[in-house]
Amino acid sequence: MKIFNTLSRRKEEFVPIEEGRVRMYVCGPTVYNLIHIGNARPMIVFDTFRRYLEHKGYKVDYVSNFTDVDDKIIAKAIEEGVTSEEISKRYIEECKKDMEGMNVRPATVHPLATQEIDGMIAMIRKLIDEGYAYNVNGTVYFRTRKFKEYGKLSWKNLDDLRSGFREIKVTGEEQKEDPLDFVLWKPKKEGEPAWDSPWSDGRPGWHIECSVMAKHYLGDTIDIHAGGEDLVFPHHENEIAQSECANGVPFANYWMHNAFLTIDKVKMSKSLGNFFTVRDIAEKYDLQVLRLFMLSAHYRSPLNFSADLMESSKSALERIRNAAERLGDLMKSAKDTEPSEEEKAMAAEAEAFVRKFDEKMDDDCNTADALSVVFELVKYANQHVNEECAAATVKVFADTLAQLCDILGIITEKKEEILDAEIEQLIEERQAARKAKNFARADEIRDELAAKGILLKDTREGVKWTRA
Ligand code: AMP
Ligand code: ZN
């Protein structure tokens, strides 16, 4: 299997540190708001890669953090007059709901930065002791020029970087020895969450969090470190500097970065305001449509969000689901006869589809081409598997389709799913019926929703609903 490694900018054969095992770390979101579908891209693509590694027989330790201490979280907490913890807890829960909706499996561990402060203090202390970091009035900086390999991931040259930085004077950071030095620990400002440390009451910088969480759960050298391409510099470059100076061994053997999800060819981001949350999409689509949309491009190619592409993903999903349903129906009536020679050849064909799928995925996780193989399989099954086939033959195709879809994390069962927007609309209609004293219609709507697993609760603030 080959992986494009950002470090070498080449596709490399994947060799794990330990046979049969993969240690993988994926940078997770900063939790101050609902995640947008740009944030969902790394979640979906690396979850798919994890599933594929497991299909190949690896045991995967998959760690993905939540950054739960950050300026944006603090700002949101101040805005709402609540604690930072309340904000981060709320959005971690919301993020987990979105992950479930997108069929992104929970990580082996989801560490929280705020629960790993001791490890961060230990690593910073070690970096200071060994001359890689220094404390100025309670702020600890990493001495970038001391790490000779700085720039190896982003392919940046230290001198170019330094001349680029010369003009920029960052307020409050004039005490740095070098403009390239970055913060490991910063003293608290009034009202901010803070922890005790040898240097000041304060909090860690963002980069040290991931270095420490990866070390804690996966060890000093990990197999794969992944995230969006905006993280290559400075986040991942800084993680490498900290980890390699503190641990004395390479940090990650393979670095994988997904390209951006764009909208009108511009990166989707919170700060630009050009985003859709996963929740927005869920109002209109089954989130499996979003998943299929994400997988329809190679993870290193930019992917532009559009209504047209979502519509074609929607019909693509239906095509898969119809085929799965048809095979399921055929199974029910198929006879337990011996498959004919022709059917044996068909079963061999099914195996060939799996091999082709694996080849595509082995080539740097090419989900776009792997998906095309799924559609070839669907087409073949639609054309060749019929009422004449033995149960064993139908089963080969039903299982193969289920297996490939499962690797991609695509749920093939048709759900009688009702979208949030439809629920809201029915609730409004029920309120109107009640107002018009049409209680029969109001009850009918309540029953209709109940049949779909939606429970209504009348409260003083209006009607609340939950999925059973
Ligand atoms: P953040 O919460 O901004 O730290 O982002 C969490 C993850 O989402 C990181 O891996 C980012 O690189 C990734 N990400 C953010 N915006 C996009 C986007 N528009 N397209 C793809 N990945 C993104
Ligand atoms: Zn990170």
- 70-96 pLDDT, tens per residue? 999 999 999 999 999 999 999 999 999
Beta bridge partners of 185: 140, 204
Q: Is 228 in the pocket of ligand 1 (CB under 6 A)?
A: yes
Q: Which ligand is in closest contact with the Cα of 64?
A: 2
- 376-385 pLDDT, tens per residue? 999 999 999 9
> Are 410 and 288 a contacting pair, CB within 8 Å?
yes
**271 CA to centre of ligand 1 in angstroms:** 12
Q: Is 101 in the pocket of ligand 1 (CB under 6 A)?
A: no
pLDDT at 298: 98
pTM score > 0.85 for this model?
yes
Angle 219-220-224 from CA coordinates, rounded to 5°: 80
Q: Residues of 314-349 as b/e, b for ≥16 C-beta within 10 angstroms?
A: bebbeebbebbebbeebeeebeeeebeeebeebbeb
Residue written as tokens 């979850």? 47
Decide if pLDDT at 170 tops 60.
Answer: no
Average pLDDT, rounded, for the chain: 95
Q: Is 76 in the pocket of ligand 1 (CB under 6 A)?
A: no
pLDDT at 307: 95
Q: Is 70 in the pocket of ligand 1 (CB under 6 A)?
A: no
Q: How confident is the model at residue 353 (pLDDT cuts 50, 70, 90)?
A: very high
pLDDT at 167: 53
CB atoms within 10 A of CB 80: 11
- Across the range 19-33, mean pLDDT stands at 97
**226 CA to centre of ligand 2 in angstroms:** 9
- 235-250 pLDDT, tens per residue? 999 999 999 999 999 9
- Across the range 309-329, mean pLDDT stands at 97
Q: How confident is the model at residue 418 (pLDDT cuts 50, 70, 90)?
A: confident
* Residue 439: DSSP 8-state: H
Q: How confident is the model at residue 166 (pLDDT cuts 50, 70, 90)?
A: low
Q: What percent of the chain has pLDDT over 70?
A: 97
- Across the range 312-326, mean pLDDT stands at 97
* Closest ligand 1 atom to 27 CA: 10
SS3 135: strand
**38 CA to centre of ligand 1 in angstroms:** 6
Q: Which ligand is in closest contact with the Cα of 232?
A: 1
Residue located nearest, by CA, to atom 14 of ligand 1: 39
* Residue 149: DSSP 8-state: T
Decide if pLDDT at 368 tops 60.
Answer: yes
Q: What percent of the chain has pLDDT over 90?
A: 88
**315 CA to centre of ligand 2 in angstroms:** 36
**246 CA to centre of ligand 1 in angstroms:** 27
Q: Is 36 in the pocket of ligand 1 (CB under 6 A)?
A: no
- Across the range 400-419, mean pLDDT stands at 90
pLDDT at 458: 86
pLDDT at 416: 67
Q: Is 41 in the pocket of ligand 1 (CB under 6 A)?
A: yes
**39 CA to centre of ligand 1 in angstroms:** 4
pLDDT at 462: 85
Q: Is 42 in the pocket of ligand 1 (CB under 6 A)?
A: yes
**75 CA to centre of ligand 1 in angstroms:** 20
Q: Which ligand is in closest contact with the Cα of 113?
A: 2
pLDDT at 357: 98
Q: How confident is the model at residue 312 (pLDDT cuts 50, 70, 90)?
A: very high
Decide if pLDDT at 318 tops 90.
Answer: yes
Q: Is 258 in the pocket of ligand 1 (CB under 6 A)?
A: yes
**206 CA to centre of ligand 2 in angstroms:** 8
pLDDT at 144: 96
What is the Cα 159 distance to its own chain's centre? 35
Q: How confident is the model at residue 172 (pLDDT cuts 50, 70, 90)?
A: low
Decide if pLDDT at 412 tops 90.
Answer: yes
> Are 276 and 310 a contacting pair, CB within 8 Å?
no
Decide if pLDDT at 188 tops 80.
Answer: yes
Q: Is the peptide bond before 234 cis (omega within 30 degrees of 0)?
A: yes
pLDDT at 65: 98
Residue located nearest, by CA, to atom 21 of ligand 1: 260
- 35-47 pLDDT, tens per residue? 999 999 999 999 9
**Two tokens at 382?**
């639609």
32/86 Cα distance (integer angstroms): 10
Q: Which of 25, 31, 41 to mutate to test the pocket of ligand 1 (most atoms within 8 A of CB)?
A: 41
Q: Is 227 in the pocket of ligand 1 (CB under 6 A)?
A: yes
Q: How confident is the model at residue 272 (pLDDT cuts 50, 70, 90)?
A: very high
> Are 340 and 386 a contacting pair, CB within 8 Å?
no
Decide if pLDDT at 329 tops 60.
Answer: yes
Residue located nearest, by CA, to atom 9 of ligand 1: 228
Decide if pLDDT at 169 tops 70.
Answer: no
pLDDT at 90: 98
Q: Is 95 in the pocket of ligand 1 (CB under 6 A)?
A: no
Q: Which of 345, 338, 103, 70 is nearest to 208 (CA)?
A: 70
Q: Which of 178-192, 345-359, 368-382, 451-465 has the lowest mean pLDDT?
A: 451-465
Q: Is 207 in the pocket of ligand 1 (CB under 6 A)?
A: no
Q: Is 287 in the pocket of ligand 1 (CB under 6 A)?
A: no
Q: Is 26 in the pocket of ligand 1 (CB under 6 A)?
A: no
HSE-CB of 7 using CA atoms within 13 angstroms? 17
